[in-house]
Amino acid sequence: MRMLERETLAQFGFDVLEAESGEQALEILAKRQPDLVLLDVDMPGIDGFEVCRRLRQRWDMTGVPVIMVTGLDDPASIDEAYEAGANDFVAKPINWPILGRRARQVLRSAQAVRQLCELREKQGAVMRAIPDMIFVIDWQGTYLDYKPGSVRTSVRFEQRFLGKNISALLPPDASGLVQQAIDAALLSGKLQSVIYSLPLEGEIHYHEARVVPDGVDKVVIVVRDMTAEKLGEEKILRLAYFDTLTDMPNRQSFLEHLDLELQRARRDNIRVALLFLDLDGFKRINDTFGHGAGDTLLQEVAMRMKEKLRAGDFVARPASDAAAIHFARLGGDEFTVVLTGIEDTQMVGQIAARLQALLAMPFLIGDREVTVTLSIGIAIFPEDGEDAATLLKHADTAMYHAKDQGRNNWQLYSGAMTVQTAERLAVEADLRKGLDRGEFRLVYQPQVNAADGTVVGIEALIRWQHPERGMISPAQFIPVAEESGLIVPLGDWVLNAVCVQVRDWQQRGVFTPRVAINVSARQFRAPHFLDSVAEIIAESGISAEQLELELTESILMDPESRQVQGMYRLRALGVHFSIDDFGTGYSSLSYLKHFPIGMLKIDQSFVRGVPDRVNDAGIATAIIAMARSLDLDVIAEGVETRGQLEFLRAAQCPRVQGYLFSRPLPPDEIEPHLRRGSIALPATASAD
């Protein structure tokens, strides 16, 4: 866990020190002051709560902010974390992409509060250095004595105040408040305090008047200029309600405003629409161009929304009641739009389409043009929920449905989406259990020489034998594994299982050709994945030449330098690399020369169309010719008919794979094919 936290935080620019126990943590803290501390509740020795308490004896929450990492999500544990002095807590399992941003936000919040505290201390020092104005006034409001404080003009204030009534010198509102305080102080015999505003030098200044009885018929009033403090309070209020990056209302402001709109909608019997917006591919922009570019993009998105859809945005204040369209940034690349008083969903769709068109226009970030698309989920009050939390949840669900539909579209919420979401969560939960209970199996499909049927390779494919649902298709669980991050441990299991199987075959004298393993983008980018491949090969004792890692084109578009170096280290060991589903992704040839790629795999969508479809035939032929010119091997997958095989033979495709030769088989059923070393090819025919 510490390793994963360290790697995650390092990617966000943190220098990380580690402690294996609470005692070691205190030893490190005794020597230096960190910017931020992440404490796990369960540690050897004293627990995280006690470490936090001792840390707070030395530094407050702004000096060294603390994030508690805990698997305990009950209210009592959360309360104990905050009572111990934690700034925030993170529940396990940890959402790694969010952890770095959350740590940075906690750090920024602590710094902001510290800056505000320092500002307030400076203001207090200035106020103490400059004497307040002190007045002695009788019960009727006549000035009897005066001690000047901050002199704003060259006029002698003694001559202006003495003998005059407060009503002659102060505006009616201010003089009325002061006179009421005088009456109350003389009647109760206790200190009274009022704050009033005065127009001075073209600005509004706020003053506090503290009224103390002086006998039975007069009072002493100490007047202090509160303008700086008032502005500081407004600044704190703005920090609480507005996103500092985009100057849009934040989540807290959005929820309060939505509650007010829903109250008004119930009273006036009108409908309200909530649009949940998410930028497609924002993480890739962050990873490619840096978080500075990502922040700039978010600012440009917010500015374009506010400028082009002005009606009713509530940027000026959190509780505007005159608007029909309200914007907010919830966090990350998520925005919301609230439409009030809508008549039908057609209008909501028009606004959604307009938002998509608006943000589809390129943004200029530095010297680069960046284009983003938008996925939008829509929930309507009262049909889709009668409170803010339910509407937000359902709009979020609809947005994820828009993502599943290919992104760059908008979707209205329906109850079926919640069912789909629940099913997806159930699959995710079963995936975790399935990994622990060993419910996954591997099957192998032979890859043969197109000319003579010699077995030249096999591809390992994962299958899930669920104890209740039976055999679950990879099309159902692989996307869930990708989204949840379970694809990483699942991929590790596949790699280990393949190496163990190859070792078993070799020990029993079974001919074993090269085994191809699919690697997902998320698995490939996981820290130390490429290093772990070498470790697994070494532990199993098989030859690295036995393994081929099948990558998608998207993996290689923006690789990190460590990944490129890791690929070349593996290739030097003997591991082969191929591009799966070639032609369906970016189809850019520029990356091929930068990586140790040895084979291209023609996607079955093209093979399926040959020889009848001219376009598919042309694409397949072009890929084969290109691979030959680049000295790359090539294989066609999804071969199911004799006509497809004859076409590929004529196009000089050296390797083929598909149901025409064999379906994917468990290890014991594919073993006879391996022992023979070949598969009989179907009789020659032009087509089936």
pLDDT at 685 exceeding the cut of 50: no
| Torsion on CA atoms 344, 346, 352, 355, rounded to nearest 10 | -110
3-class DSSP assignment, residue 581: strand
Instruction: Name the band, by pLDDT with cuts 50, 70 and 90, for residue 557.
Output: low
Distance of alpha carbon 610 from its chain centroid, rounded?
43
Mean pLDDT value of segment 24-52: 90
Report the pLDDT value the prediction gives residue 672, as an integer from 0 to 100.
93
The model's pLDDT over 167-217, given as tens digits with 9 standing for 90+, comes to: 888 888 888 999 999 999 999 999 999 988 888 777 788 888 889 999 889
Q: Which pair of structure tokens corresponds to residue 632?
A: 């790359």
For residue 420, what pLDDT is reported? Answer: 67
Cα–Cα distance, 495 to 517 (Å, whole number): 7
pLDDT at 603 over 90: no
Q: Report how far residue 410's alpha carbon sits from residue 398's, in angstroms, rounded to the nearest whole number.
A: 8
Contact at 8 Å (CB) between 211 and 194?
Answer: yes
**CB contact burial 151-173 (16+ within 10 A = b; e otherwise):** eeeeeebeeebeeeebbeebeee
Q: Going by C-beta distance under 8 Å and a sequence separation of 6 or more, which residues neighbour residue 661?
A: 446, 448, 453, 639, 679, 681
| Lowest-confidence segment of 224-228, 392-396, 438-442, 488-492 by average pLDDT | 224-228
- List pLDDT tens digits, range 224-238: 878 778 877 777 777
Class assignment of domain 2-127? alpha beta
DSSP state for residue 640 in the 8-state scheme: -
Tell me what pLDDT residue 550 has: 92
User: What is the pLDDT, as a whole number, of residue 688?
Assistant: 40
2-127 against 245-413: fold identical: no
CA–CA gap between residue 224 and residue 208 (Å, rounded): 5
pLDDT score recorded for residue 237? 72
Asked whether the predicted pLDDT for residue 383 surpasses 80, the reply is yes
More confident residue, 218 or 117: 218
Pick the closest to residue 558 from 280, 288, 281 (CA basis): 288
Q: Where are the domains of the chain?
A: 2-127, 130-231, 245-413, 424-676
Closest C-alpha to 460, from 386, 524, 507, 513: 513
Rounded CA separation 69/92 (Å): 7
> Taking all residues of the chain, what is their mean pLDDT, rounded to a whole number?
84
Cβ(372)–Cβ(304) below 8 Å? no
Q: Please tell me which residue, 586 or 567, carries the higher pLDDT value.
A: 567
Question: How far is the C-alpha of 602 from the C-alpha of 656, rounded, in Å?
Answer: 10
If you average pLDDT over residues 583-604, what whole number do you get?
74
Give the pLDDT confidence of 64-99 residue by residue, as tens digits: 899 988 877 678 888 888 888 888 888 888 888 888
Separation between Cα atoms, residue 163 and residue 153, nearest integer Å: 20
Does pLDDT of 117 surpass 70?
A: yes
In the chain, the amino acid numbered 598 is G
Q: Which residues contact 223 (CB under 8 A, 6 or more apart)?
A: 132, 133, 134, 135, 149, 207, 208, 209, 210
* CA dist., res. 210 & res. 538, Å (int): 80
d(CA 94, CA 110): 22
Three-state DSSP class for 609? Answer: coil
Q: How far is CA 630 from the centre of its chain?
A: 40
Please, which residues bridge with residue 271 across strands?
342
- Give yes or no for residue 103 having a pLDDT over 80: yes
Looking at the predicted structure, is the pLDDT value of residue 501 above 80? yes
> Residue 52 — very low, low, confident or very high, per pLDDT cuts 50/70/90?
very high
Residue 438 in tokens: 């060993």
- Given a cut of 80, whether residue 545 has pLDDT beyond it is yes
Residues 90 and 422: their CA atoms lie apart, in Å, by 24
- Regarding beta strands 192-200 and 143-147, do their DSSP bridges make them parallel or antiparallel, or are they unpaired? unpaired
The residues near 688 (Cβ < 8 Å, ≥ 6 apart) are: 641, 642, 643
Q: What is the DSSP letter of 500?
A: H
Q: Look at residue 442 and tell me whether its pLDDT is greater than 90.
A: yes
Residues above pLDDT 70, as percent of the chain: 90
Q: In CATH, which superfamily holds the domain spanning 130-231?
A: PAS domain (3.30.450.20)
> Cα separations (Å) of 571 from 231, 368, 534, 598?
63, 34, 10, 10
Predicted confidence (pLDDT) at residue 333 exceeds the cutoff of 50? yes
pLDDT at 162: 80
- Examine the pLDDT at 422 and tell me if it is beyond 80: no
pLDDT score of 359 more than 60: yes
Q: What are the residues facing 40 on neighbouring strands?
A: 69
Least confident segment among 444-448, 541-545, 552-556, 677-681? 552-556
User: Could you tell me the CA-to-CA distances from 274 to 401, 499, 624 in Å, in that order?
Assistant: 15, 51, 50
Mean local confidence (pLDDT), 309-316: 42
Rounded to the nearest angstrom, the gap between the alpha carbon of residue 560 and the centroid of all alpha carbons in its chain is: 20
pLDDT > 90 fraction of the chain, expressed in percent and rounded: 28
CB neighbour list of residue 237: distance below 8 Å, 6 or more residues apart: none
Residues 6+ apart with CB under 8 A from 683: 642
CA distances to 36, 293, 410, 545 from 363, in Å? 35, 11, 21, 46
Max avg pLDDT among 128-142, 238-252, 625-639? 625-639
- Burial (0-12, 13-18, 19+ Cβ within 10 Å), 109: middle
Whole-number pLDDT of residue 163: 84
When pLDDT is cut at 50, 70 and 90, the band that residue 151 belongs to is very low
With 0.75 as the threshold, say if the pTM is over it.
Answer: no
**What mean pLDDT is predicted for residues 260-288?**
86
Q: What is the DSSP string of 109-166?
A: HHHHHHHHHHHHHHHHHHHHHSPPEEEEEETTSBEEEEE--S--SSS-HHHHHTT-BH
For residues 244 and 232, is the Cβ–Cβ distance under 8 A?
no
Gap between the Cα atoms of 14 and 477, Å rounded? 35
645: number of Cβ within 10 Å: 27
- C-alpha to C-alpha distance for 250 and 314, rounded to whole angstroms: 11
Q: 145 forms bridges with which residues in the sheet?
A: 136
Q: Is it the case that residue 504 has pLDDT exceeding 50?
A: yes
Q: In this structure, are residues 221 and 229 in contact, taking their beta carbons and an 8 Å threshold?
A: no
If you average pLDDT over residues 319-329, what whole number do you get? 61
DSSP alpha helices (H): ranges in 525-587?
529-540, 561-573
Q: Are 522 and 487 in contact (CB under 8 A)?
A: yes
The lowest-confidence range among 138-147, 467-476, 541-550, 555-564 is 555-564
pLDDT of 320 > 70? The answer is no
- Which pLDDT band holds residue 323 (cuts at 50, 70, 90)? very low
* pLDDT of res. 542: 92
Q: Which of the listed CATH numbers 3.30.420.10, 3.30.70.270, 1.20.1280.290, 3.30.720.200 matches domain 245-413? A: 3.30.70.270
Dihedral angle, C-alpha 180, 185, 188, 193, nearest 10 °: 80
User: Which pLDDT value is given to residue 277?
Assistant: 93
| Residues constituting the chain | 688
Q: What is the average per-residue pLDDT within 285-291?
A: 76
Give the confidence band of 680 by pLDDT, cuts at 50, 70, 90: confident
pLDDT of 554 over the 60 cut: yes
Distance of alpha carbon 569 from alpha carbon 596, whole angstroms: 10
Stretch 612-638: mean pLDDT, rounded? 89
How far is residue 38 from each of residues 25, 41, 86, measured CA to CA in Å? Answer: 10, 10, 10
**Above 50 in pLDDT, residue 309?**
yes
Q: Does position 308 have pLDDT exceeding 80, yes or no?
A: no
Please report, to the nearest 10 degrees, the dihedral formed by the alpha carbons of residues 106, 111, 112, 113 taken in order.
Answer: 90
Q: Which residue has the higher pLDDT, 420 or 65?
A: 65
pLDDT class of 294 with cuts at 50, 70, 90:
confident
Task: Please give the pLDDT value at position 159.
Answer: 57
Alpha carbon of 130 to those of 162, 201, 409, 485, 611: distances in Å? 22, 20, 62, 61, 92
Give domain 424-676's CATH number out of 3.20.20.450, 3.10.450.630, 1.10.1060.10, 3.30.300.180.
Answer: 3.20.20.450
What span, in angstroms and rounded, lies between the C-alpha atoms of 51 and 25?
Answer: 8
Confidence of residue 343 (pLDDT cuts 50, 70, 90): confident
What angle, 0 to 180 degrees and rounded to 10, lies between the N-to-C axes of helices 75-83 and 48-56?
Answer: 30
Torsion on CA atoms 568, 570, 572, 575, rounded to nearest 10: -120
Whose CA is closest to 498, among 536, 466, 555?
Answer: 536
